[in-house]
Amino acid sequence: MANFDIQLTVNGRQVSQSVSPHLRLLDFLREELHWTGSKEGCGAGECGSCSVFVDGVLMKSCLMPVAKAQDTIIETIEGLEEQGKLNVLQQAFQKTGASQCGYCIPGMMMAATAALRANPHAGREEIKERLGGNICRCTGYQKIFEATELARDVMNGTLPDDLLKQENDEGPFIGSNSFRIDTSSKVTGSLKYAGDMVMPQMLHMQVLRSPYPHAEILEINTSAAEAMAGVEAVVTCNDVPGIDGFGVFTDDQPVLARGKVRYVGEAIAAVAAEDLVTAKEALKKIKVRYQQLPVITKPEDAIKTGATVIHEDVPDNIVMHIPIRKGNVDKVMAESDHVIEDTYYTQPVEHAYLEPEAGLAYLDADGTLVIQSPSQNITHHRHKLAKILDLPINRVRMIMSAVGGGFGGKEDMHYQGIMALAVLKCRRPIRYVFTREESIIASAKRHPFIIKYQLGLSRDGHIQASRIHMLSDAGAYNCSSEGVMRKAAILAAGPYAIENLIVDAIGVYTNNTPSGAMRTFGAMQSQFATECHLDLCAEKLKMDPVELRLMNFLKEGDETHTRQKLGSVSMLEVFNSALELADWEAGISNSRGSTRSDLGNPGNRPPCTLGAREFPQETVSAGQSA
């Protein structure tokens, strides 16, 4: 389609330009005008990080065709500053620490601005409602609500503007409310994430990914893609000059699929082209012939006799087995008054960081390869890339760009190697930005577990023996699975004194998306099962679940199940403080229902109920502070 001329005003500046009709308003602002404060987190109007004002109305710019912006007035996050200084709302976000990774903050700032413009006296519930179209993955929202309320009260004159200042500019900073040093760049939208970066002669990358979970690659034909105008490089596994393999513990994953694919979404080939449209069209011209292979999707199937082998050098499909043995479990379990067992399941979890994976790669003036990306393990990645590219370590440089949320998910080197191959082939800068769909299909997830739990207890509730069998789905590649298995095994029995114990933590290969690092790193899954099982035991023994825990806690001088003798143990102190704050009512947990006296007390949040909750349209009147 032919370009058309568009005229509009952006942040007070008149713009007249010829544009392609396929662009969204977000694309036009970011790629043509380089107003990169507005972010793309989803591309579907769900996250709100792309929010801008169009003729004074808050809009999701990722959903708006640029043609609809003809003759409009656009205001982005960059237009909120007042004569180069932070406005009151931006200062309030800085004061309360409302910005963490910062990726959602431009959209949040726009939504909060819209809320206070619509009702300068909006109460907390109205603020929540008006910010409901924006997602934050880091803060839990409370700081954002507090910032909006603080700005409201300062703008209304009910609070002095001195409250927006840092408590102590000189220090000491520990124990005082200190500003994060990067906050001003986040609340103004000036901080550049990897997907915001541009360079002269920059190319755009797209990656061809497997539609099959397990298949042999018979042929890859890239000739038609390479012949396209605007295509500068096409790379496959054949372009790897060094040792092809990377991982956190084992280098079992190729940069691009070699010989076969092992999960849906595995990278096979990549194109670097003058623009995204050309790169996407070139992917369609790459022809791959596959021979589909048997698929393993359940970890219990991976360890059956005769199971399909995912990696030829691991015939039993076991990535890592961590066994722990202590005491005589069989004997003591048989002698226990109660033996209680159950099975617990946890699911794979998407990290859902608002910033999709992205990177900018280029050759420096002296020929050094430079990659800027939100990598959470840049030293490790640097060493892996040097090996893959057959370069001396001093010819590879990794720069950690601002991380728009990671939670462990950006610890794996899933795409940096692909960018490096393309840069070395075409000798031009390359930028690669995942779509949200690509991020979900290709990035590592939290490890799903199947945990079989057996406890032997005395009549009064003392734990005498424990048998814990954990089977985890590592997915198609090792990634962080070895470390996760170790952590899960070490923490499996929880903070309880147990003399007789068997723990098996087993991670296995499947044809699912790889499992990798995520917050708690194996501890969450094992602790979920342990605490659920103790609640079940308390119910069967007709005990208060708190009493059951108190009598079994590790104490000073005890040995953990990995034989570490404990010195100072603060568990009891912490636990008793939590009980006091919660107004805990002793008793059997399944016997009191809604009659509990420890629900709904001052300082405690109300219990969750099913169904919609109606909130009054609360406002804070002039002269009144919330």
Looking at the structure, do residues 449 and 529 belong to the same domain, yes or no?
A: yes
**What's residue 594's pLDDT?**
65
In a domain, 495, yes or no: yes
**What's residue 615's pLDDT?**
52
- Structural contact between residues 269 and 222, judged by C-beta atoms closer than 8 angstroms: yes
Looking at the structure, do residues 23 and 130 belong to the same domain, yes or no?
A: no
In a domain, 57, yes or no: yes
Looking at the structure, do residues 121 and 36 belong to the same domain, yes or no?
A: no
In a domain, 431, yes or no: no
**What's residue 601's pLDDT?**
78
Q: What are phi and psi of 112, to 5 degrees?
A: -65, -35
Looking at the structure, do residues 63 and 96 belong to the same domain, yes or no?
A: no
**What's the length of the chain?**
626
| CB atoms near residue 425 (< 10 Å) | 15
- Report pLDDT digits (tens) over 155-166: 999 999 999 988
Give the rounded percent of residues in the chain with a pLDDT score beyond 90: 88
Cα(first)–Cα(last) distance of the chain, in Å? Answer: 54
Looking at the structure, do residues 59 and 104 belong to the same domain, yes or no?
A: no
In a domain, 359, yes or no: no
Q: Please name which of 549, 542, 546, 535 lies closest in space to residue 591, comparing C-alpha atoms.
A: 542
- Report pLDDT digits (tens) over 47-64: 999 999 999 999 999 999
- Report pLDDT digits (tens) over 607-617: 666 665 555 55
Looking at the structure, do residues 39 and 111 belong to the same domain, yes or no?
A: no
In a domain, 96, yes or no: yes
Domain total of the chain: 3
User: Among residues 131, 160, 190, which one ends one of the domains?
Assistant: 190
Q: Give the domain CATH number at 97.
A: 1.10.150.120
Looking at the structure, do residues 336 and 480 belong to the same domain, yes or no?
A: yes
Looking at the structure, do residues 182 and 48 belong to the same domain, yes or no?
A: no
User: Among residues 487, 511, 546, which one ends one of the domains?
Assistant: 546
In a domain, 488, yes or no: yes
Contacts of 403 (CB under 8 A, 6+ apart): 101, 355, 374, 376, 410
Q: Give the domain CATH number at 494.
A: 3.30.365.10
- What is the spatial distance between Cα 116 and Cα 131, in angstroms, rounded to a whole number? 11
Looking at the structure, do residues 37 and 113 belong to the same domain, yes or no?
A: no
Beta bridge pairs of residue 596: none
Q: What is the token pair recorded at 9? A: 């005003």
User: Among residues 28, 60, 79, which one ends one of the domains?
Assistant: 79
**What's residue 168's pLDDT?**
72
**What's residue 41's pLDDT?**
97
381-409 average pLDDT score: 97
Q: Give the domain CATH number at 60.
A: 3.10.20.30
In a domain, 258, yes or no: no
Looking at the structure, do residues 454 and 337 belong to the same domain, yes or no?
A: yes
**What's residue 542's pLDDT?**
94
User: In which domain, by residue range, is 512 found?
Assistant: 310-349+445-546
In a domain, 369, yes or no: no
- What is the spatial distance between Cα 624 and Cα 434, in angstroms, rounded to a whole number? 47
For residue 316, give the DSSP letter.
T
- Report pLDDT digits (tens) over 459-498: 999 999 999 999 999 999 999 999 999 999 999 999 999 9
Looking at the structure, do residues 42 and 93 belong to the same domain, yes or no?
A: no
State the residue for tokens 């849906």: 264
Q: Please name which of 371, 373, 375 lies closest in space to residue 429, comparing C-alpha atoms.
A: 371
Looking at the structure, do residues 93 and 164 belong to the same domain, yes or no?
A: yes
- Report pLDDT digits (tens) over 299-326: 999 999 999 999 999 999 999 999 999 9
Least confident of 3-7, 134-138, 175-179, 499-503: 175-179
